[in-house]
Amino acid sequence: MEGNEQYTGSSIRTIEGVEHIRLRPGMYIGRLGNGNNPGDGIYVLLKEIIDNAIDEFSAGFGKQVQITIEDQRKVCVRDFGRGIPFDAVIRATSILNTGGKFDTKNYKKSVGLNGVGTKAVNALSEHFMVCSHRDGRCFKAVYERGQLLESGESDTREKNGTLVEFIPDDKMFQGFAFNMDYVETMVKNYSYLKKGLTLNLNGVAYKSENGLLDLVNENLSEQPLYPPIHLEGEDIEIVLTHGNAYGENISSFVNGQNTRDGGTHLAAYREAIAKTLKEFYKKNYTPDDCRQGIVGAISIQIQEPNFEGQTKTKLGSTYMWEKDGETGPTIRSFVNDFVSRNLDNYLHMHTEVIPVIEEKIKSSQQEREEISGIQKKTRERNKRTNVYNPKLRDCRYHLTDKRTEKTEDDIERSSIFITEGDSASGTITKARNANYQAVFSLRGKPLNCYKEGRKKFAENEELNLLVSALGVEDDLENLRYNNIIVATDADDDGMHIRMLVLTFFMKYFPDLIRRGHVHILQTPLFRVRNKKENRYCYAPDEKEKAIRELGKGVEITRFKGLGEISFDEFRDFIGENMRLDLVKLADEESIADIMAFYMGDNTLERQNFIRENLRSEQELEDVDI
Beta-bridge mates of residue 134: 137
Q: Which residues contact 376 (CB under 8 A, 6 or more apart)?
A: none
Instruction: Please tell me the distance from the alpha carbon of residue 609 to that of residue 614, in angstroms, as a whole number.
Output: 8
- 417, 395, 445: which is closest to 562 by C-alpha? 417
The region of weakest confidence among 8-17, 317-326, 335-344, 516-525 is 8-17
Residue 178 has pLDDT above 90, yes or no: yes
Neighbours of 402 (CB within 10 A): 7
**AA letter at 319:** Y
Tens digit of each residue's pLDDT (9 = 90 or more) over 140-150: 999 999 899 99
Instruction: Please tell me the distance from the alpha carbon of residue 162 to that of residue 78, in angstroms, as a whole number.
Output: 6
pLDDT of residue 615: 57
Return the SS3 of 440.
strand
* Strands in 187-256 per DSSP E: 198-201, 204-206, 229-233, 236-242, 249-254
Beta-bridge mates of residue 529: 534, 555
- 356, 366, 367, 365: which is closest to 242 by C-alpha? 356
- 620 exposed, middle or buried (CB, 10 Å; 0-12, 13-18, 19+)? middle
Q: Nearest 5 degrees, angle CA 311-CA 314-CA 201?
A: 55
> Phi/psi of residue 444, each to 5°?
70, -155
The region of weakest confidence among 7-21, 27-41, 254-268, 466-480 is 7-21
Residue 107 has pLDDT above 50, yes or no: no
Instruction: Please tell me the distance from the alpha carbon of residue 62 to that of residue 197, in angstroms, as a whole number.
Output: 8
- 331, 291, 339, 329: which is closest to 314 by C-alpha? 331
Instruction: Please tell me the distance from the alpha carbon of residue 189 to that of residue 183, in angstroms, as a whole number.
Output: 10
Tens digit of each residue's pLDDT (9 = 90 or more) over 249-306: 898 998 877 888 888 999 999 999 999 999 999 999 999 999 999 999 999 988 878 8
Domains of the chain, residue spans:
17-206, 212-360, 371-523+561-589
Q: Is the pTM of this model over 0.95?
A: no
Per DSSP, the residues of 548-589 read HHH-TT-EEEE--SGGGS-HHHHHHHTSTT--EEE----TTS
pLDDT of residue 276: 96
The CATH class, in words, for 17-206 is alpha beta
Residue 378 has pLDDT above 80, yes or no: no
CB 133 within 8 A of CB 83: yes
CB 587 within 8 A of CB 250: no
Mean pLDDT of the chain: 83
Task: Give 235's DSSP letter.
Answer: T
Pairing type for strands 483-486 and 415-420 reads parallel
Per DSSP, the residues of 112-152 read --SS-HHHHHHHTEEEEEEEEEETTEEEEEEEETTEEEEEE
Beta-bridge mates of residue 528: 535, 556
The region of weakest confidence among 131-135, 340-344, 359-363, 364-368 is 364-368
Instruction: Please tell me the distance from the alpha carbon of residue 67 to that of residue 398, in angstroms, as a whole number.
Output: 43
Return the SS3 of 66.
strand
**What sign results for the dihedral spanned by CA atoms 43, 300, 297, 472?**
positive
Which comes out higher in pLDDT, residue 34 or 577? Answer: 34
Q: Which residues contact 204 (CB under 8 A, 6 or more apart)?
A: none
- 197, 187, 178, 265: which is closest to 58 by C-alpha? 197
CA 96 centroid distance within chain:
26
- CB hemisphere CA count around 500 (13 angstroms): 21
- 78, 249, 254, 56: which is closest to 159 by C-alpha? 78
Q: Which residues contact 16 (CB under 8 A, 6 or more apart)?
A: 96
The region of weakest confidence among 25-29, 130-134, 327-331, 332-336 is 25-29
> Which helix (H) or strand (E) is 527 found in, with range?
strand 526-529
Q: Quick one: pLDDT band at residue 323, thresholds 50, 70, 90?
A: confident
Tens digit of each residue's pLDDT (9 = 90 or more) over 42-87: 998 999 899 889 888 888 898 999 999 999 999 999 999 999 999 8
Q: Which fold has domain 212-360?
A: Ribosomal Protein S5; domain 2 (3.30.230)
84: alpha, beta or left? (left if phi > 0; alpha if psi -120 to 50): beta
* Strands in 428-506 per DSSP E: 437-442, 483-486
> Phi/psi of residue 177, each to 5°?
-160, 135
Question: By percentage, how much of the chain surpasses pLDDT 70?
Answer: 84
Instruction: Please tell me the distance from the alpha carbon of residue 68 to that of residue 141, in angstroms, as a whole number.
Output: 20
pLDDT of residue 560: 74
- 210, 224, 111, 206: which is closest to 587 by C-alpha? 224
CB 543 within 8 A of CB 526: yes
Instruction: Beginning with the edge strand found earlier in the chain, give each strand of the sheet holding 483-486 in spatial order.
Output: 392-393, 437-442, 415-420, 483-486, 518-521, 580-582
* Residues 295-324 as b or e (16 or more Cβ within 10 Å = b): bbbbbbbbbbbbbbbbbbbbbebebbbeee
Instruction: Please tell me the distance from the alpha carbon of residue 520 to that of residue 344, in angstroms, as a whole number.
Output: 44
Mean pLDDT of 386-412: 65
User: The CATH number of 371-523+561-589 is which of 1.10.150.20, 3.20.20.370, 3.40.50.670, 1.20.200.10?
Assistant: 3.40.50.670
Residue 108 has pLDDT above 60, yes or no: no
